[in-house]
A and B are shown apart, each in its own frame.
Chain A
Amino acid sequence: MTVKATRSRREPLSNSTLLMLVAIGFFVLLYILSLLFLGAGFKRPSRVFDILNDNAYLIIIGCGLSIVMITGSIDISVGGIVGLIAMFGALFLRDELLPIPGMAPGLRIAMLVVISVAIGLAFGALHGALVAYLDIQPFIVTLAGMFLARGMTTMLSGENKQLLTGSPVLEILSKRIDIPWLGYDEVNKIRHTVTHVPAHFEFVIIAALLTVVAVAILLHKSKLGRNFYAVGGNRQSALMLGVNVRRTRFLAHLISGLLAGIAGFVYLWHNKSGNIGGASAAEMQAIASSIIGGTLLTGGVGNVVGTLFGVLILALIKPIVTDASALKGFEWLSKAWWQQIFNGAVLCFFIVLQSVVLRFRSTLRVRKSEREETVSG
């Protein structure tokens, strides 16, 4: 066979892409099964919007975590940062922190966006510097960051929960697009009333999807993005190939911090409140989503479209369990712990599935190269 002929051949999918397709396939399968067996709720398009609205902030920090994990690092502080910014933002928008009299609500919100980004960048820079330049374990560094953020959240808040109720900014933040034709009629059997519930499209969805697109472009099209993969694939080799490893690792953490800052604002935007335990364990959800989406904890492999679907898969579990508990014989599912247990089961299932897929692939490859050898030799 000539060299030219093999060139035009289509390359097999990379592991990143393959694992992403597995995640997308699983999501579609899960949704179809829900449609078949659980019915009503899943037939409503508004369910998709609800999932996206609720999980927008998770998608954003998931993107950040994917970058960090591709680089072979980890960031467990992002949930804490989201909680901190949500709490700070709630107080800030109620003019309880840094009040500037006579400031227009819109301007106040814009200012909060800037501050959120700044807080996120500050955390990211601190983590990145310690991890990349002082070579400290990222787990420890970001664990410290998480404690710091959670501590500051408690310090800021006198109470458990700070709501935006009554604030003039609430009106702006509550804006959303109602899509009546994608809505549904809710029938109240006791009062014999029918109310039309439109589908809600919150702007946080745009923020989340823009992040996915931006990070996807960064990872695939930019030199920095490829350096993330190189450093995660083999740090020593990357160094020998002339990649600035320290700067690359620093930037991974910086971007993760930045995205956590944005996610904090998005969280407040959607929930309209900050609370002490806000976004608790969000970092674990994000890590799980990244893994389900095909990002390997060992580094070098992953992509954000997969992460998006990872978030969606985990997000599907809640309505599935809720709807299933309404079925006859499945009432026991209404207990709250079942969601967690199913989360764990899905994550576990995915890790096994991925390792099976990758192993099957490598044996296939060995067999193929053996075949080629016998043909040519």
Chain B
Amino acid sequence: MENGIVLTMRGISISFPGVKALDRVDFTLRQGEIHALMGENGAGKSTLIKVLTGVYARDEGTIELDGVPGTVTIHSPQEAQKLGISTVYQEITLCPNLTVAENLYIGRQKGVSVPWKKMNRDAAALLDSLGIPARPRQMLSSCSLAVQQMVAIARAVDTQCKVLILDEPTSSLDEKEVEMLFKLMRDLKARGVGIIFVTHFLEQVYEVSDRITVLRNGQLVGEYETASLPQVELVSKMMGKELEGLSQVSASQDEEAEQAEVLYQAEGLSSSESKPFDFRIHKGEVNGFTGLLGSGRSECVRAIFAADRVTGGKVIMDGKVVRITKPIKAMKNGIGYLPEDRKRDGIIADLSVRENIILALQVMKGFFRPFSRKAAEAFADEYIKALDIKTASSDTPVGSLSGGNQQKVILARWLLTHPKYLILDEPTRGIDIGTKTEIQRLVLDLSREEGMSITFISSEIEEMLRTCSRLIVMRDRHIVGELKGSQLTQDQVMYTIAGGGNERAD
């Protein structure tokens, strides 16, 4: 093996029923480097990590580790740890009810009794050497998330790991905490640990990593030196869209979007999951949130619908200040929300198509005043026909329908409440192309003919460009730009995501 390389993965392939999750992927990790692993949804990042940590068995390919002769096969996370591959996950995998020192040493001590004194002494030395601000005898639950994360890293380092995998370690940390973590990562790097850093925060990648490997759809796009890869190129590689010339579109030419009055306006709205943001939508407008996976698109619309706990901000609807603290209040104000995860938040699989369709309206009316069977059937049939929902009858359980038709049922549910403002979060994910176009057309029809305001979110940028007249661009949980009119091109979106575009065009 080449000098200074701690891990080589070559031609890794793995298939799951129906999908090739990884297709001949290569990955190389050098000693003392921070190597970012990047990719959008379904790129195969986590599959690659799971192959490396022994959760999945690869179908093809070789893994070579420094100091281990031949290719290695890893069967379990425990085996990976023995080989010097440690993983620190986004969710803290420590015990909150034990002390910091115990969390560092539990499960890897010999003997029957706990040597408290020695353990606390060793822990103090370890924490000191890594500069982690925690005390050995402190309960883990009394540490901040960042410190807990660092304790997990300290444990991994103490097991003499050569490869340290950090899987989205910064997702729940604030900026100061991220800095602390980065300092620790640089220390470890100086000690020669190879770090694989999985994240979707672009800025953090550029701040801390030496090298970037990009995956897309289970295939290797390439390995790059961070310093020589501009952000916009990284974005284009992740999204798989070529940059068509560096056409910096001049600032907004079309001002006609500002025509109608504002229907919904949020100032500094924030929720337990999202940072404060400003947002507005006009009557009959279709706009959208765009950005990479994890940029905070869904969190914003969830805050609008109060699907997460709203923590602050002011909301004005139709010129009046309203307080929307619960989904039911959003509904009563005429807001509908089609959630991203239709299996979890959307359909109730065992109920019939009819019951699923009338659900939202029934909730608004109150459960003690049920619709008559006849009325319910009339509603259901109307929308089954209008949206062309393919179901045997309105009595069929929704779970037995195809994904696209399930999505239409949820859409029908919201349309039945005649919302003034409809939020569609990834309405076309995982459904066939025909239904996709139908839904896109429906969105445009609703806005044009019924004057409904619609916020549309999709991971497919073409779809967004086709349907939306205004795009709000997000990066790393912040709104970084707003595009409309002739600015609505793929290049411009990618530039804005990468931080090279015009900051707010209005």
Contact = CB atoms under 8 A, between A and B. Distances in A.
Contacts of B376: none
B111 interface: yes
Interface in B121-143: 124, 127-128, 133, 135-139, 142
A300 B93 contact: no
A220 B124 CA distance: 20
B98 interface: yes
Interface stretch (B17-25, B100-108, B380-388): B100-108
A301 B141 CA distance: 12
Contacts of B139: 11-12, 14-15
Contacts of A12: 139, 142
Interface string B143-164: 0100000000001000000000
- Main secondary structure on A side of the interface with B: helix
Given A230-B102, A233-B98, A238-B107, 8 more contacts: A3-B127, A7-B136, A11-B137, A227-B106, A234-B93, A234-B94, A241-B103, A242-B107
B78 A222 contact: no
Interface residues of A, number: 33
9 contacts: A11-B138, A221-B114, A223-B112, A223-B113, A230-B95, A232-B97, A233-B98, A243-B106, A300-B96
B138 to A, nearest CB: 6
A277 B109 CA distance: 46
B92 interface: yes
A43 interface: no
B106 A230 contact: yes
Interface of A: 3, 6-7, 9, 11-12, 14-15, 220-227, 229-230, 232-234, 236-238, 240-243, 300-301, 365, 369, 377
B109 to A, nearest CB: 6
A242 B78 contact: yes
Question: Taking each of B81, B137, B155, B176, which has the highest tally of chain A beta carbons within 10 Å of its own beta carbon?
Answer: B137
A297 to B, nearest CB: 14
B128 A226 contact: no
Interface string B451-485: 00000000000000000000000000000000000
Contacts of A227: 106-107
Question: Taking each of A7, A229, A236, which has the highest tally of chain B beta carbons within 10 Å of its own beta carbon?
Answer: A7
A242 B80 CA distance: 12
B77 interface: yes
Given A11-B137, A222-B114, A223-B113, A241 B95 contact: yes
Contacts of A226: 98, 102, 106, 114
Question: Taking each of A6, A226, A243, which has the highest tally of chain B beta carbons within 10 Å of its own beta carbon?
Answer: A226
Given A11-B135, A11-B137, A241 B94 contact: yes
B97 A233 contact: yes
B231 to A, nearest CB: 30
Contacts of B109: 223
Contacts of B176: 377
A232 B98 CA distance: 10
Contact of A222 (B108, B113, B124): B113
Contacts of B144: 369
A232 B133 CA distance: 26
A240 to B, nearest CB: 4
Given A12-B142, A222-B113, A234 B95 contact: yes
A230 B105 CA distance: 12
A7 B124 contact: yes
Given A6-B135, A365-B142, A240 B98 contact: no
A221 B177 CA distance: 34
A3 B133 contact: yes
Question: Taking each of A14, A221, A240, A300, which has the highest tally of chain B beta carbons within 10 Å of its own beta carbon?
Answer: A240
Interface string B357-379: 00000000000000000000000
Contacts of B77: 240
A249 to B, nearest CB: 15
Question: Taking each of B77, B98, B127, which has the highest tally of chain A beta carbons within 10 Å of its own beta carbon?
Answer: B98
